[in-house]
Amino acid sequence: MLASRLSLALGPRVSSTTRRDLSARLGKGRHFRFAPAHRSLLFQSRKAVPDNLSDARYEVALANRILANEGVLDAFGHVSLRHPSDPSRYLLSRSRSPGLIEPDDVLEFTLDSEPVATPSVQLYAERVIHGCIYEARPDVTAVCHHHAPSVMPFCIAGVPIVPVFIWGLPGVKRCRSGISATSSATRICWWSSRRRAARSLARSDRTARCS
């Protein structure tokens, strides 16, 4: 049952070995719930970051595939994860469509977004976004660069996204005050000034970033 549910997120092109390994790994210490109406795979992990590098690579690959399946990532989006044992590094896939990423595609990078090992494959040009955020925010453990259709119109039109809290009773004021206003970092080209972007990101909190 778990393998069939994973197949919705993993897609038909993932190898059978990877599918079995993911089923075995993700079935331990996690609780799964399947929502057939939305054809989505929902899960809760007991730990924010996996303990070892192998598990972390699987998590990055799975996150990319799930977000691609849900329409959050298009062919150009990507997800990264801070290294589980070395906070001065992070994990990001080689340049590939997120719906096709496998664990072996996930590479290690320094906070300067340089690959730890000499790569034989093409890398994402936008990886510097991930490095800047991890450098500026030691508390951040994962980064998603996306062009979600539900968010991009606000970025293009310059219209602020109004925070919405579904329960209209106690907690609304506290919830809204916890969402920062859009930072000036959204108007900084990532290739023009890494330090300026990093400083802006360091002043922001819990705010979605679109570049």
The answer as to whether 44 is a domain residue is: no
Residue 84 domain-assigned (yes or no): yes
Where residue 2 falls (left for φ over 0; alpha for ψ -120 to 50; beta otherwise) is alpha
Band the pLDDT of 210: cuts 50, 70, 90.
very low
Would you place residue 147 in the very low, low, confident or very high pLDDT band (cuts 50, 70, 90)?
confident
Q: Look at residue 107 and tell me if it is in a domain.
A: yes
73 found inside a domain: yes
The contacts of residue 2 (CB under 8 Å, 6+ apart) are 23, 26, 27, 32
On whether residue 195 sits in a domain, the answer given is no
- The answer to whether residue 139 is domain-embedded is yes
Domain assignment present for residue 96? The answer is: yes
Q: Is 114 assigned a catalytic role?
A: no
Q: Residue 112 belongs to a domain with what CATH number? A: 3.40.225.10
Residue with tokens 């993700």: 26
Give DSSP secondary structure letters for 101-158. --GGGEEEEETTS-BSS--SS---TTHHHHHHHHHH-TT--EEEE---TTTHHHHHHT
Distance of CA 102 to the CA centre of its chain: 15
CA 170-173-174 angle, to 5 degrees, is 90
pLDDT digits 0-9 by tens, 17-52: 555 555 555 444 443 333 333 333 334 444 566 778
Q: Which residue out of 59, 70, 126, 135 is catalytically annotated?
A: 126
% pLDDT > 90, the chain: 40
Q: Which H/E stretch holds residue 55?
A: helix 53-69
Residue 14 in any domain: the answer is no
pLDDT in tens, 164-206: 655 444 444 554 455 444 444 334 444 445 565 555 555 554 4
What is the domain count for the chain?
A: 1
Instruction: Please give the helix or strand (H or E) that residue 81 lies within, else none.
Output: strand 78-82
Structural domain boundaries, residue 63? 50-149
Beta bridge partners of 82: 90
Cα dihedral across residues 159, 66, 132, 141: positive or negative: positive
